[in-house]
Chains A and B, each alone.
Chain A
Amino acid sequence: MIELVAQHPLLAALTALVGLAAVFGAILGFAAVKFKVEGDPVVDRIDALLPQTQCGQCGYPGCRPYAEAIAGGDAINKCPPGGQAAIKALAGLLAVPEPELDGEASEVKKVAFIREAECIGCTKCIQACPVDAILGAAKLMHTVIVAECTGCDLCVEPCPVDCIEMRPLAQTLADWRWDAPHSPGESLRGLRSRDILASDRSSSRANRVA
């Protein structure tokens, strides 16, 4: 047998290639089973960049379905709560150009507020809330857990007595942050050119500018 193979180079090459193919095929087959990826990691990564308000403004019932749609090729600019920041992050992840936001981003964070005196306890808002942030029971007053509310405003529409409103979240000492200063270009606007001589460092100049 070995002699036969040795005497026919064609047969030798064939045997070697088939042998290699069998070995690598076995390794690949093993790897496919052993390192099988559950789910779609791209969807997970897109989902991680979405703001998770579950508001449905993108036209999908929640952030995860929108993430799946983006993975399937949908536009990345349909998320107003995420704003331009989310679009930028998504564009970075998917290596696509950064489009403008489709719609208007709201600057102020809002949370739902139930005027409790008017609530009739119909539980419709509780069923509408995607993150279970409304507390209450049938024929009993409902209230919003502010810390859990994502501000999606899905509860406003189903209320039969219109007792839910979206209120801007008040700023507290804990979430206050410093504003960025004006950039040099901006702060120089409105000054005459003789005011910005770099060699002029006397304090009188500062007073004159003021």
Chain B
Amino acid sequence: MRKIWDIPGGIHPPENKTQSLQTAVAVPPMPEQLVLPLIQHAGTAARPVVDAGDQVLKGQLLAEPGGAVSAAIHAPTSGLISAIEDRPVPHPSGMSARCIILIPDGRDQWCARRGLDDYRGASPTALLDRIRDAGIAGLGGAGFPSAVKLGPPQPIDTLIINGAECEPYITADDSLMQERAAEIIEGTMILAHILDNPGTVLIGIEDNKPRAFEALRDAVAQSPTAQGIIEVVEFPAKYPSGGEKQLIQILTGNEVASGRLPADLGIVCQNVGTAYAVYRAIRHGEPLISRITTVTGKACAHNGNYEVLLGTPIRHLLAHSGFDRDSCGRLVMGGPMMGFALLDSDAPVTKATNCILAGGRDEFPPAPPAQACIRCGLCAEACPASLLPQQLFWYAQAGNLERLEAHDLFDCIECGACAYVCPSHIPLVQYYRAAKGEIRQQVGEKAKADHARQRFEFHQARLARAEAERTAKREARRLATAAAQHRVATAGDSQAAGPGLATGAAGDLLKAAMARTAARQASPEQQRAKLERALEAASDRARSAQARLAAAEAEGADGEQLDKLRARAEEARLKQQDAEHKLQAFAHPPQPPADAAESP
């Protein structure tokens, strides 16, 4: 018999688990449409690889992982992709997010599957790739992509399969363990193989699930491979023993340090549902397209567990369970302790939906008004993480985020035990969640501010560099001009001293300049013809202006107009003169071109 440790704190809320365990796991009818959110967990959203209008087969890849912490999404049945659009998703905010909408065609036709008969022949990396490709995420409730957790850099000596299911009402894992124990054991063996066969492989179950415990123990005894390797451990029921860190403490006595991961202790923890999904993925090549979800609560006529296709609208599942909206006090996804109220029953079942709780009005009455904290200390006694809930509450109320972090707010697992025992009905977890959100937001804003500062500094540096380059260019141009002027001046001096001796650099410069000017100019005949044409036109204009002026004078026009015409005639005369001068200058060039150099 294995030694069992205890966790600090914890509570014993009414279990309410028997209602949903009266019948075997059932399969609800096919819904009219399946809504598959691209993001079903913390991390990055998946990237769709199909378009609206595509026909897909059951198990076909619909969206690939969008990053390291991201899981693929597959078609839960064959059908038509009708749209990729924003739909309400199961989230406490009640917001919408991008979803792939699949209309089932009723044929439920599988795509090609490639299962592995003997996983022992495959390398852990190949198996890990298969798990990643199958889109398997933690089915315990958080939905963290499993492949990330199964490939830790540290060596692993303990694998723990979590069958605690400590939260009231939920029986999804219980029914799975009762009905599919052999598959869970096989999945556990695959996980152990991936983790290079850790020395200890444990399956932890609370003692309020005797049938599940027996089923698993028998399955281990009957399995030739698992016998002697897997140990099924029963421990006293206490909420929240199913928390990862709590279960590790119960089964190994080790506490995961603040801010560390179980892998730092050489421990990997996976849910029983995940082990089953891994078995389906490796042995049969089936991606994660369904999960077992508990539908319970007094507002439902038939309480039970369903093997639900992912994406099934919760409304459909409730309708199948005889849901009575009028008697429903609160519709919750998850359990009564850690779940959140659903604002919209159109939201679909996702990989993390372990329970739909439609509580009757007397089951979940509205919360009584919060009263002042009386410093009774019950919350500190109940806290499984050994925190100081009332200190956290004071600091959260005061908005003192620094002190909150100093009091290890981020070690709070939000189990709700403190709020459950609070005699003043203070919604403590809400305070912690809000404070955590605020701290995360501040951290995000700080990161963004640092990024903006860096960009601003780069911007300033770039402007300074551009300005420096411009100044340097201007300076270079100025120096070059000064040097050229100097050279020309010296060349001019040497020419003045002895004409015809225009040699060296200055002489070359002049020749080049003259050649350029000559090239720009047309031949002398053409120039002459052009100037003559210009003179003719100018004389014409002068004559006509003179004529108009004379006519106006004869008619006796008013002074203003006369002045204008006179000015025009004068202007035309000047232009004519100008053209004449130019023609004369061209006919008799006043100086030889070589002397032109002296003029500047």
- Chain A residues close to B by CB (< 8 Å): 47-48, 50-54, 62-64, 129-133, 148, 150, 171-173, 175-185, 187-188, 191, 195-196, 198, 201, 203, 205-207, 209-210
Closest residue on chain B to residue A132 by CB atoms: B459
What residues on A are CB-neighbors of B444 within 8 Å? 175
Contact yes or no, A196 B371, CB < 8 A: yes
Question: Which of A62, A150, A176, A207 contacts B95, CB < 8 Å?
Answer: A176
What residues on B are CB-neighbors of A185 within 8 Å? 372
- Chain B residues close to A by CB (< 8 Å): 39, 89, 91-93, 95, 97, 362, 365-373, 396-397, 423-424, 426-427, 430-431, 433-438, 440-441, 444-445, 448-453, 455-456, 458-460, 462
Cα A133 to Cα B440 in complex, Å, equals: 24
| Smallest CB separation, B13 vs chain A (Å) | 15
What residues on B are CB-neighbors of A131 within 8 Å? 452, 455-456, 459
Question: Which of B369, B450, B458 contacts A209, CB < 8 Å?
Answer: B369
Contact yes or no, B365 A207, CB < 8 A: yes
What residues on A are CB-neighbors of B445 within 8 Å? 51
Known contacts A178-B430, A181-B431, A181-B434; is A130 also within 8 Å of B366 by CB?
Answer: no
What residues on B are CB-neighbors of A64 within 8 Å? 453, 456
Cα A188 to Cα B449 in complex, Å, equals: 39
What residues on A are CB-neighbors of B453 within 8 Å? 47, 52, 63-64
Contact yes or no, A176 B93, CB < 8 A: yes
Residue picked from B93, B434, B449, B455, most chain A C-beta under 10 Å: B449
Contact yes or no, B366 A209, CB < 8 A: yes
Contact yes or no, A62 B456, CB < 8 A: yes
Contact yes or no, A198 B371, CB < 8 A: yes
What residues on A are CB-neighbors of B434 within 8 Å? 177-181
Residue picked from B369, B434, B435, B458, most chain A C-beta under 10 Å: B369
Question: Which of B368, B431, B458 contacts A205, CB < 8 Å?
Answer: B368
Cα A100 to Cα B369 in complex, Å, equals: 34
What residues on A are CB-neighbors of B89 within 8 Å? 173
What residues on A are CB-neighbors of B365 within 8 Å? 203, 206-207, 210
Cα A139 to Cα B460 in complex, Å, equals: 24
Contact yes or no, B369 A173, CB < 8 A: no
| Smallest CB separation, A90 vs chain B (Å) | 14
Contact yes or no, B427 A173, CB < 8 A: no
What residues on B are CB-neighbors of A51 within 8 Å? 445, 449
Cα A196 to Cα B424 in complex, Å, equals: 10
Contact yes or no, B366 A210, CB < 8 A: yes
What residues on A are CB-neighbors of B448 within 8 Å? 52, 150
| Smallest CB separation, B332 vs chain A (Å) | 16
- SS of A interface (majority): loop
| Smallest CB separation, A173 vs chain B (Å) | 5
Cα A149 to Cα B555 in complex, Å, equals: 74
What residues on A are CB-neighbors of B368 within 8 Å? 201, 205-206, 209
Residue picked from B39, B436, B441, B452, most chain A C-beta under 10 Å: B452
What residues on A are CB-neighbors of B370 within 8 Å? 181-184, 187-188
Closest residue on chain A to residue B365 by CB atoms: A206
What residues on A are CB-neighbors of B91 within 8 Å? 173, 176
Residue picked from A184, A195, A198, A201, most chain B C-beta under 10 Å: A184
Cα A203 to Cα B367 in complex, Å, equals: 9
What residues on B are CB-neighbors of A129 within 8 Å? 459
Closest residue on chain B to residue A131 by CB atoms: B455
Cα A181 to Cα B431 in complex, Å, equals: 6
Cα A63 to Cα B489 in complex, Å, equals: 54
Cα A129 to Cα B237 in complex, Å, equals: 60
What residues on B are CB-neighbors of A198 within 8 Å? 371, 423-424
| Smallest CB separation, A79 vs chain B (Å) | 12
Known contacts A178-B433, A180-B396, A180-B431; is A52 also within 8 Å of B456 by CB?
Answer: yes
Contact yes or no, B456 A130, CB < 8 A: yes
Contact yes or no, B366 A53, CB < 8 A: no
Cα A184 to Cα B462 in complex, Å, equals: 54
| Smallest CB separation, B427 vs chain A (Å) | 5
Contact yes or no, A196 B433, CB < 8 A: no
Q: Closest 9 A-B residue pairs measured CB to CB?
A: A177-B437, A180-B434, A178-B433, A52-B449, A52-B452, A131-B455, A210-B366, A181-B430, A176-B93
Closest residue on chain B to residue A184 by CB atoms: B370
Cα A185 to Cα B372 in complex, Å, equals: 8
What residues on B are CB-neighbors of A188 within 8 Å? 369-371
Cα A136 to Cα B372 in complex, Å, equals: 58
Cα A129 to Cα B430 in complex, Å, equals: 40
What residues on B are CB-neighbors of A132 within 8 Å? 455, 458-459, 462
Contact yes or no, A184 B39, CB < 8 A: no
| Smallest CB separation, B345 vs chain A (Å) | 19
| Smallest CB separation, A44 vs chain B (Å) | 11
Cα A176 to Cα B95 in complex, Å, equals: 9
Contact yes or no, A187 B369, CB < 8 A: yes
